[in-house]
Amino acid sequence: MSEWRADPVTGQWVIVAGDAPVRLRDFDLDEHPPETDLPCPLCEGHEQVAGHEILAVRENTPTNGPGWQLRVVPNRVPVLRVEAGGDSVRDGLFEHQPGLGAHEVVVESPRHDASWYTMPAPDLGTVLLAWRDRIADLRRDGRMKAALAFKNHGAKAGARLAHPHSQIVAMPRVPPRIDDELRGAERHHLATGHCVFCDLVAQELAAGTRVVAATPTCVALAPYASRAPFEVWLVPRHHAARFEAAPADDIIGLAAALHGVLAQMDAQLGRPAFNAVLHSAPYGAAVDAAFHWHLELVPRVLRATGFDIGTGTAINPVPAEKAARVLRGAAG
Amino acid sequence: MSEWRADPVTGQWVIVAGDAPVRLRDFDLDEHPPETDLPCPLCEGHEQVAGHEILAVRENTPTNGPGWQLRVVPNRVPVLRVEAGGDSVRDGLFEHQPGLGAHEVVVESPRHDASWYTMPAPDLGTVLLAWRDRIADLRRDGRMKAALAFKNHGAKAGARLAHPHSQIVAMPRVPPRIDDELRGAERHHLATGHCVFCDLVAQELAAGTRVVAATPTCVALAPYASRAPFEVWLVPRHHAARFEAAPADDIIGLAAALHGVLAQMDAQLGRPAFNAVLHSAPYGAAVDAAFHWHLELVPRVLRATGFDIGTGTAINPVPAEKAARVLRGAAG
């Protein structure tokens, strides 16, 4: 079983994921493509291997059989489990807690060779709607304080399986990066009475230089203090703190904007590996006026160095204005 | 010129490193070994390319010529510069400041094929003593609030040159990760009157399970809440907040312990890429009783995923006790 552990100096929590035997050959994954000779557990026809479906998009086909567009299943090697109850325990300077949480896999297509870069916008919409439904459902477990939906595309982004999939994790604590955003949004709201993301979208649309794309429902920005080259935030124009409460039209609008930005990344950068991370208000937080859900796309074209690791400060060689210019297809 | 930029939501600072033309071929560096056909700028005989020495360890040989053991030179592509003066400027939600700081390269050996894995302990001591001297010297610039010494070993750890080198950066602000440690250390000191690192070393020596090695001057630990598999902290037994004020004996003791830990990593893991990061008290901080300098070694055997990036929470598949057992050479 995994456990949560608090750093004895900073108090920051880490997930120690289980105690399976250490096999050194499991590491350095990034040297190898994620593809293997083993049958893909996520392909159509392997539903029994992938696991019993929690949610599926299928038309009159039997549950847990073939004939589906999307399935959500429990992660076979979960980093957190809903069964892992128990309080946190102290031992001198150390504090730990059983690895409570939920960890699900969204199998995004029956096709092994599908990809966010090639899926039509409605299929991306199906994925995002499944995220919404699962995040809404996991909220019913009162022990969970936050959920995160994310995708690793490509080995360089940490993907271990080539078959298109994303992941949903629900957690009994608010993660530090979401907490930082939340506090910043609350500071801004207290000072101005406005949502910082709404103000940001307005300022960026007026300036124009960091706008990657703008659709009727969504604005894609190269964030001013981007941590990674060509990072893009997709921010819905309609203010809402919680993705799971967003109307379907906003989510379908996000999918259309995402499809467009991925086409820009494809055309200008050649399908880089990326992480996509959904930031939505933590379940219990009373931040409906201050927070604003959004999707962060982080291309993985540079390695973190000792500077990043030692300081927690990113060094980004591509200013956001240049990233936006490149992605819009203008001269770099 | 580079600049510091504050994230408009979290307030966290990022370094936007210059505005050189974006060349897409410069990215995805990790696919390629850092070795190239170009002459190595750091090799003996190329002193004019590497730059004028700020510090050198040499015996009666002319400054900036061959015949040296170690040289410190300005980084040829600095992310921060001492010439970059100026206050921070606000533009609506955005805040930026010229890229003030210092960025130096420690050329650790005249030999291109030397490596921390093969250098004898006294040569590692020469490197660490150069770090100390440079951090002490950069402190004289009152604009600098903190310095970081770090090393990237291997392309997977972000190294761009194969020639053994490390880097010193001085900064006008305290980086978030150091700040988190400082605050935690101050909380502990306020509550107990003790240094948290001294207490940690005592608890770990008593428990034994996470001790990788112990020498007369230094304890090497797999940290309880390790963020990465096989992460090791080298903590001097003698309490001191500032590396630059440490006695030479403690630094030579650290070099000996480091040499031993690298031999353990070599034997058990096969010379993984790693980052080494020195954590020392920020220049101005009055934390002499609460903080304790140490060196963090982070093997780079796993890729960050969307979970790490989205939450700021690490998932580590190797518990610290197992990492210590493996590194000690016991059965995994």
Tens digits of residue pLDDT in B126-161: 999 999 999 999 999 999 999 999 999 998 899 989
Helical H runs in chain A? 47-50, 121-138, 176-192, 196-207, 248-269, 306-311, 320-328
Looking at per-residue pLDDT, the higher value among A213 and A30 belongs to: A213
What Rg, from alpha-carbon coordinates, does chain B have?
Answer: 20
The C-alpha atoms of residue A107 and residue A90 are separated, in whole angstroms, by: 38
User: Is any Cβ of chain A less than 8 angstroms from the Cβ of B41?
Assistant: no
Closest partner CB to B332 (pick from A21, A180, A309): A21
Q: Where are the alpha helices (DSSP H) in chain B?
A: 47-50, 121-138, 176-192, 196-207, 248-269, 306-311, 320-328
Query: Which residues of B fall within a CB distance of 8 Å from A332?
Result: 21-22
Stretch A139-153: mean pLDDT, rounded? 96
- Beta-carbon count within 10 A of A289 CB: 14
Q: Pick the range with the lowest mean pLDDT from A232-236, B18-22, B115-119, B276-280.
A: B18-22
* CB contact B304 to A (< 8 Å): yes
- A303–chain B nearest CA distance, Å: 5
Does pLDDT of A31 surpass 50?
no
Cβ within 8 Å, pair B27-A302: yes
ipTM score of complex: 0.91
pLDDT at B122: 98
Span B312-316, average pLDDT: 90
Cross-chain residue pair B6–A302, CB shorter than 8 Å: no
Return residues 95-134 of A near B (CB < 8 Å). none
Q: Higher pLDDT residue, B194 or B27?
A: B194
Across chain B, mean pLDDT equals 91
Distance CA B318, CA A22 (A): 7
Q: How far is B155 from chain A (nearest CA, A)?
A: 8
Mutation site for A-interface testing, chosen from B2, B7, B9 by largest number of A Cβ within 10 Å: B9
The full set of domains in chain A, from first to last, is 102-332 (3.30.428.10)
Return the pLDDT at B24: 58
pLDDT score recorded for residue A37: 66
How confident is the model over B283-310, as pLDDT tens digits? Answer: 988 999 999 999 999 999 888 999 999 9
* pLDDT score at B28: 53
Residue B324 CA to residue B332 CA, distance in Å, equals 9
B174 shares contact with chain A (CB less than 8 Å): no
Q: Nearest CB to B7: which of A225, A277, A309?
A: A225
Task: For residues B186-201, give the mean pLDDT.
Answer: 96
CB contact under 8 A, B28 and A272: yes
> Do A154 and A273 meet the contact criterion of CB atoms below 8 Å apart?
yes
A281 touches chain B (CB under 8 A): no
Q: Report the share of chain A in percent with pLDDT over 90.
A: 77
- Percentage of chain B lying above the pLDDT 90 cut: 77
**B191 has a pLDDT exceeding 90:** yes
pLDDT digits (tens, 9 = 90+) for A70-102: 999 999 888 899 988 888 888 999 999 999 999
Flag whether residue B144 sits within 8 Å of chain A, measured between CB atoms: no
Cβ proximity of B256 and B236 under 8 Å: no
The average pLDDT across B190-213 equals 97
Report the residue of chain B nearest A31, measured CA to CA: B31
Per-residue confidence (pLDDT) for residue A151, from 0 to 100: 98
**Torsion angles phi and psi, residue B89, rounded to 5:** -125, 135
Which tens digit of pLDDT belongs to each residue from A191-208? Answer: 999 999 999 999 999 999
pLDDT greater than 50 at residue B332: no
CB atoms under 10 Å from CB of A288, counted, come to: 14
Which pLDDT belongs to residue A332?
A: 47
